[in-house]
Amino acid sequence: MTFSPVVLLEERPAGNGNVIGIATLNSERSLNSLSLEMIDLLLPAMRRWAQDGRVIAVFLQGAGEKAFCAGGDVRRICLAVRENGIEDSYAQSFFTEEYKLDYLIHTYPKPVIVWGQGIVMGGGIGLMSGASHRIVTETSRLAMPEITIGLYPDVGGSYFLSRVKGRLGLFVGMTGVHLNAADALHIGLADHAVAGARREAVIAALCAVHWSVDASQHRQQVSATLAAEQAPELAASELQQREAALNRRAGSDDLAALYASLTAPVPEDPWLNRTAQSLAKGSPTSAALIHRQWLRGASMTLEAVFQEELVISCQCARHPDFIEGVRALLVDKDNAPEWQPPRLDQVTEEWIAGHYVAPWQGEHPLHTL
């Protein structure tokens, strides 16, 4: 039996004696869901490439055509807590290393190109959101669907969703709506649309660039290379068509009023009605956390966001809804989560405040970001 690593690393020769680092998430069966094993390979490679003068840029992709990355390996967290109790260390280890990787991509000193083909959800958007060049194709489907599993849009979502124009970021976070490529471009979660069949051609074009000796020009050179690609025909943006209505629908800063508005049935619009049903079926605790993080994130630095999200995410693994939501959707797959508490009006301030209490002693694990 041949062993294949969960991350494939390659250095492809490029112009002027440079190389392009290519990292491939290599777990097609799990839709390239991000595991701790993947992070343990990818994080040191990204750090090494950042310091290597030969590496001009990094290209991050997923194996196969179906998915770049369908999210973090939350199933593993659920199973660990079910087996060992809430003191199990896996959740903290996973989220700590995941956020280190996400923050590194956001602050990377060289161009990072992410090929966001197919499914890009949760942790996949965490990898993609901080890249300098975020590519979608005609098959791209993006979502932050944490409302359905008792979590919230982490991986920096508190930062980037709160910076989407108008109230669309709040709508995306609260409802877990699936976005097409045009939606992602419209709200700034992607930068370029390229035909899916052009992946290898794009890598070859990047390798053929006559790279400037001035590193400050490299991002512009990547942009010019991608701009030379003919954009594929994309389905229209569902968000753009409804933008004014969605801003009104998500217009209240009062959580109860916002929730009532976003869950109101819209039988004449099946797309919008599905978003209402998704929120109504989701975790009430998650709804409260998503709303609070959207309000807070707009005034926070990226570093502070990741530090706060680590606290909340570790606490979610200690509170019932996250483990229950993952159980219902990904482990037992009965799609019948029993939320605690079951209604939004039963979610108290004290309950939510408990999610902001660090569960560790001593220094914050991300104090050196």
Domain holding 214, by residue range, is 7-356
Return d(Cα 302, Cα 297) in angstroms, integer.
Answer: 9
Give 294-341 pLDDT, tens digit per residue. Answer: 999 999 999 999 999 999 999 999 999 999 999 999 999 999 999 999
361 domain residue, yes or no: no
pTM over 0.95: yes
Could you give the percent of the chain with pLDDT greater than 90?
Answer: 98
- Residues 6+ away with beta carbon under 8 Å from 168: 187, 239, 243, 246, 247, 250
CATH number for the domain spanning 176: value is 3.90.226.10
50 domain residue, yes or no: yes
363 domain residue, yes or no: no
367 domain residue, yes or no: no
Give 79-128 pLDDT, tens digit per residue. Answer: 999 999 999 999 999 999 999 999 999 999 999 999 999 999 999 999 99
Helix 284-297 vs helix 255-262: angle between axes, to the nearest 10 degrees? 120
**Count of domains in the chain?**
1
281 domain residue, yes or no: yes
The residues pairing with 124 across neighbouring beta strands, listed in sequence order, are none
